């Protein structure tokens, strides 16, 4: 599908929809050095960066800095993305480590070096924490094992409509101590875009 760059309205005014200047500025900034799908080409990975593929460790050989003989290897002003090979086995996220070239000045040796910016991981856990049940709601004992059934407030839609919480029964008295927990434990994105 073609991009719509601008639109001309019946009144004669023309409006830009696609920012061609911004697109040209970011074109080529991000370089996918290794996506983790096959054995890496070490010449495309920043120098000294290690990745693991099929239980084999590969070390990048791409030198930082300008390259007059091969413009594709000119690393200044670019962000190199390298698939993280240090994720836990149960994490299938597309996490990439980000590297940039740093110019340390003409008197430095070496002048150009790689620096890790961070990674593309976003942690959304612990956004909602320390949530407690409103103790002003009516609680009734429904069993002999000190389990309480607490009905939720009618203004909220909760599934299931009844929640079981911990309680202590002693004789005729019932005491209640609400548990606290985190609502959002982990988010697994279904689409991945950079």
The pLDDT tens digits for 58-105 are: 999 999 999 878 877 889 989 999 998 776 555 566 789 999 999 999
- 95 part of a folded domain: yes
Same domain, yes or no: 113 and 46? yes
Same domain, yes or no: 99 and 60? yes
Same domain, yes or no: 106 and 172? no
CA torsion, points 169, 174, 178, 179, in degrees to nearest 10? 0
pLDDT of residue 194: 45
- 1 part of a folded domain: no
Q: How confident is residue 154, by pLDDT bands cut at 50, 70 and 90?
A: very low
Q: Is pLDDT at 171 greater than 50 in this prediction? A: yes
Same domain, yes or no: 13 and 87? yes
Domain range holding 163? 126-187
Q: Please report, rounded to a whole number, the percentage of residues in the chain having pLDDT higher than 70.
A: 57
Same domain, yes or no: 87 and 153? no
Mean pLDDT of 99-127: 87
Tokens of 51: 């990745």
Residue environment code for 24-36, b if the CB has 16+ CB neighbours within 10 A, otherwise e:
eeeeeeebebbeb
Q: Cα dihedral sign for 139, 140, 146, 151?
A: negative
- 146 part of a folded domain: yes
> What are the tens digits of pLDDT across the range 23-48?
777 777 889 999 988 999 999 999 99
Select from 95, 119, 143 the last residue of a domain.
Answer: 119
* DSSP tag of 77: T
Same domain, yes or no: 71 and 153? no
Number of domains in the chain: 2
Please report which helix (H) or strand (E) contains residue 165, including its range.
Answer: strand 162-170
Same domain, yes or no: 167 and 89? no
Q: How confident is residue 145, by pLDDT bands cut at 50, 70 and 90?
A: low
Do 148 and 165 touch, CB atoms closer than 8 A?
yes
Q: How confident is residue 19, by pLDDT bands cut at 50, 70 and 90?
A: confident
Which has the higher per-residue pLDDT, 106 or 144? 106
**Do the strands 30-34 and 79-83 form a parallel or antiparallel pair, or are they unpaired?**
parallel
Same domain, yes or no: 58 and 83? yes
Q: Is pLDDT at 170 greater than 80 in this prediction? A: no
- 192 part of a folded domain: no
pLDDT of residue 71: 79
Which has the higher per-residue pLDDT, 43 or 157? 43
């Amino acid at each position: 599908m073609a991009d719509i760059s601008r639109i001309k309205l019946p009144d004669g005014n023309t409006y830009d929809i696609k920012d061609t200047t911004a697109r040209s500025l970011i074109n080529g900034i991000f370089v996918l050095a290794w996506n983790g799908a096959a054995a890496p080409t070490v010449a495309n990975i920043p120098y000294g960066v290690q990745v693991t593929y099929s239980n084999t460790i590969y070390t990048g050989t791409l030198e930082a800095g300008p390259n007059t003989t091969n413009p594709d290897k000119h690393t200044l002003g670019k962000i190199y993305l390298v698939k993280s090979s240090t994720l836990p086995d149960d994490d299938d996220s597309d996490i990439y480590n980000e590297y940039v070239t740093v110019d340390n000045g003409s008197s430095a040796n070496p002048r150009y070096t790689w620096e890790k910016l961070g990674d593309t991981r976003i942690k959304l856990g612990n956004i909602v924490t320390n949530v407690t049940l409103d103790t002003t709601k009516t609680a009734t004992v429904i069993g002999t094992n000190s389990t309480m059934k607490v009905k939720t407030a009618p203004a909220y839609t909760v599934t299931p409509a009844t929640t079981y919480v911990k309680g202590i029964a002693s004789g005729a008295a019932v005491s209640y101590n609400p548990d606290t927990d985190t609502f959002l434990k982990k988010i697994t994105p279904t689409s991945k875009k950079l």
